[in-house]
Amino acid sequence: MATTRKTVYTHTCDLCGEVQDEEDLRHLYGEVPSRQRGVAFNRQSARPKADICDECQARPVSEVFAFLDGKAEGGPRG
């Protein structure tokens, strides 16, 4: 019997948690944490990332910074 696998990706806004189309999310990157600066590996993957929907882009930028700061320190996501 043959089997197939199907991968399903769900894209959500990191601030409000709503499911969105990937094209409707803005991808923002925070600073590389100080403990990882100067490390030779891929610095892009070391950056905390936030996906923000159109509605949440109108929210105060301090909320985005707080999310990215928490993620950089290894805090809870969401």
DSSP of 16-33: T--EE-GGGEEEEE-PPP
Give the DSSP letter of residue 14.
T
pLDDT recorded at residue 5: 93
Mapping DSSP to helix (H, G, I), strand (E, B) and coil, where does residue 56 land?
helix
Q: What is the pLDDT of residue 74?
A: 56
CA proximity to 17, closest of 74, 69, 72, 67 = 67
Locate the domains of the chain by residue range. 11-72
Rounded Cα distance, 31 and 33, in Å: 6
pTM over 0.75: no
Q: What is the pLDDT of residue 73?
A: 62
Q: Are 51 and 59 in contact (CB under 8 A)?
A: no
pLDDT means over runs of 10, the chain (78 residues): 89 92 87 58 64 90 84 54
